[in-house]
Amino acid sequence: MKKRKLVLSFPEKIVTRPITYKLVKEFDLEFSILRAEITPDVEGKMLIELKGTDDQIGKAIEYLENTGVTIQEAAKDITIDKNSCVDCGEYTSVCITQALSLDNKTGKLIFNKDKCILCELCLDCCPVRAIRVNM
Amino acid sequence: MTTATFGPMCSSGAFINFGHSDPPIRMGKVWLNDVPAYTGIAAVDVYIGATEPSETEGLGYGGAHVIEDLIAGKPVKLKATSPGTDCYPRKEIETYVTKDTINQAYLFNPRNAYQNYAVAVNSSNRTIYTYMGKLLPKFTNATFSSAGQLSPLLNDPYYRTIGIGTRIFLGGAEGYVSWAGTQHNPLKERLPNGTPTGLAGTLAVTGDLKDMSTRYIRAATFQKYGVSMFVGIGIPIPVIDEEMVEFLKVRDEDIQVEIFDYSVQRRNKPSYGKVNYKQLRSGKIKINNKSVQTGPISSYARALEIADLLKERVSSGKFYLTDKVQPLPLDGEYRSLEILSQEEL
């Protein structure tokens, strides 16, 4: 079993169609929807974590792409500019999943991408604008 | 022993003397990258405050960014206007300056290195944006701002060695303690180990901007609040006697700090008790039996780096310790501002 976190973008013409339920029905995948929203340009965005075998996930992705869904790997969308980061730690207090934490000894920022659910609560916290999330 | 802190310190800014243009101008209004500077002093002297917002970019750019850009060696647009006088005929000037072209620039920060601070929480139903950062509703997070066991004035709680004239590390350069900081409040409640449990002593500090580094002076923007400036300060504390050893042994678990509800928009905010810095640094504290995630606004990592760097400078003979010229006050009333008529005074 593998876990993959993906950002799915549903264009306007398919945004009302039932699609995600097929991931269970046809591909026997476990998933959790971590976030979902409709953007101002009427595009549906969903952060989803898929759990299944490589084969199941691969086929599901193929299905999604054929229906017109655009897929991005979620974790790649988060960047922390290490040059401007000063290792303060306000973000650690708002990070629900504790993906952002401070090293006990050095006090430096640790970012555990696997734990991040792209909630963006940290985004407007960074006083030096070193954290950027593109969803 | 070297101590240090690196946190947002709003009460900071720089005096700049631009040198005189030809024909000369007595600057009446001045903007640096569209950030207004104070000019009510001599002709080409200004004070640029760290928190002053840009007139064109709002809260995203301010005095602290101008200071950071100057330290970085970047060109900064200087604009000034004046009514003109017989001795200063020029009425307008627009030019670019860098730290190398301006005559002088030094930081003069009226209040830095707070001896201790506070823990901020929010009991209300909405997210609030403060100088202690973003506070989520219903005690979801708590923020604090102190280097704790590494902080200069917590290692010398009664100001036995740190005083007016003490040479310090300021923003990468050598600087000096120039006065007691504004709101210096030595009579704050203290623990038996001498450390105050909240806002107590402060320092006014000075140092040459031209020698500073953007690693140790950084502009900060607090969302929906405004601009501030991360200031890196390091202070060596000579181990003068056994009593000093005891003070210097202070650890995070020995230093307490009070929790305040920042959603109450009053001078005196309700307290939710005290915690120590070891608890705060563990990432979680308990408030009303609820587990609350904590996060520091100041950087312990950068403070540690400054303490190490200063230690290296002292031991290699690049930085000489000084005795203070005058101690900081150990008493004095901390006054608040009341709204009074002349008769009531």
Contact A93 B301 (CB under 8 A): no
What tokens does A83 get? 């040059």
Phi, psi of B326, rounded to the nearest 5 degrees: -150, 135
Q: In chain B, what is the greatest distance between 2 CA atoms, to the nearest angstrom?
A: 71
ipTM of the complex, rounded to two decimals: 0.89
- B300/A91 touch (CB, cutoff 8 Å), yes or no: no
Please name the residue that has the structure tokens 């029905």.
A25
Mutate which of A83, A84, A88 to test chain B, going by most B C-beta atoms within 10 A? A88
The one catalytic residue among B22, B87, B268, B345: B87
Please indicate whether, in this complex, the C-beta atoms of B230 and A106 are within 8 angstroms of each other.
no
Looking at the complex, does the CB of residue B227 fall below 8 Å from at least one CB of chain A? no
Residues of chain B falling short of pLDDT 50? none
CA B44 to chain centre: 25
Q: How far apart are CA A122 and CA A96, in angstroms?
A: 10
Here the tokens at position B151 are 């902080």
For tokens 């000096």, what's the residue? B176
Residues from chain B that touch A96, judged by Cβ atoms under 8 A, are 293
Smallest CA-to-CA distance from B248 within B157, B180, B165, B115 is with B157
Q: Which residue has the tokens 């780096």?
A: B305
Smallest CA–CA distance, residue B151 to chain A, in Å, is 15
Is any Cβ of chain B less than 8 angstroms from the Cβ of A110?
no
B87 is catalytic: yes
Contacts of B6 in chain A (CB under 8 A): 86
Separation in Å, CA of A110 to nearest CA in chain B: 12
Q: Does the CB of A80 have a partner CB in chain B at under 8 Å? A: no
Q: Does A88 touch chain B (CB under 8 A)?
A: yes
Task: Count contacts between A and B (CB, < 8 Å).
Answer: 88
On the 0-12 / 13-18 / 19+ scale of CB atoms within 10 A, B22 is exposed
Residues of A whose CB is below 8 A from B252? none
Domain edges within chain B: 2-7+112-319, 11-107
CA B17 centroid distance within chain: 22
In sequence order, what are the residues at sequence separation of 6 or more whose Cβ sits closer than 8 angstroms to the Cβ of residue B173?
A: B207, B208, B209, B210, B211, B212, B213
Minimum CA–CA partner of B284 in chain A? A93
Instruction: Give B287's contacts (C-beta < 8 A, 6+ positions apart).
Output: B121, B139, B142, B259, B272, B273
Cβ-Cβ contacts under 8 Å, A88 against chain B: 7, 230, 296-299
Distance CA B242, CA B286 (A): 36
Phi, psi torsion values for A64, nearest 5 degrees = -60, -45
Q: Which residues of chain A have pLDDT under 50?
A: none
Contacts of residue B224 in chain A, CB cutoff 8 Å? 124
Cα separations (Å) of B231 from B154, B159, B206, B216, B220?
17, 21, 12, 6, 10
Q: Which residues lie below 8 Å from residue A40, measured CB to CB, with a gap of 6+?
A: none
pLDDT at A75: 59
Separation of alpha carbons A13 and A92, rounded Å: 39
Residue A135: predicted pLDDT: 55
What pLDDT score was predicted for residue B43? 97
Instruction: Convert chain B into a string of H (helix), E (strand) and C (coil).
Output: CEEEEEEECCCCEEEEECCCCCCCECCCEEEECCEEEECCCCCCEEEEECCCEECCCEEEEEHHHHHHHHHCCCCEEEEEECCCCCCCEECEEEEEECCCCCCEEEEEEEEECCCCCCEEECCCCCCEEECCEEECCCCCEEEECCCHHHCHHHHCCCCCCCEECCEEEECCEEEEEEEECCCCCCCCCECCCCCECCCCCCEEEEEEHHHCCCCCEEEEEECCCEEEEEEEEEEECCCCCHHHHHHHCCCHHHCEEEEEECCCCCCCCCEEEEEEHHHHHCCEEEECCEEEEEEECCCHHHHHHHHHHHHHHHHCCCCCCCCCCEECCCCCCCCCCCCCCCCCC
Tokens of A132: 């950027």
The residue to which tokens 């340009």 are assigned: A41
How far apart are the CA of A50 and the nearest CA of chain B, in angstroms? 28
Domains of chain A: 2-73 (3.30.70.260), 76-133 (3.30.70.20)
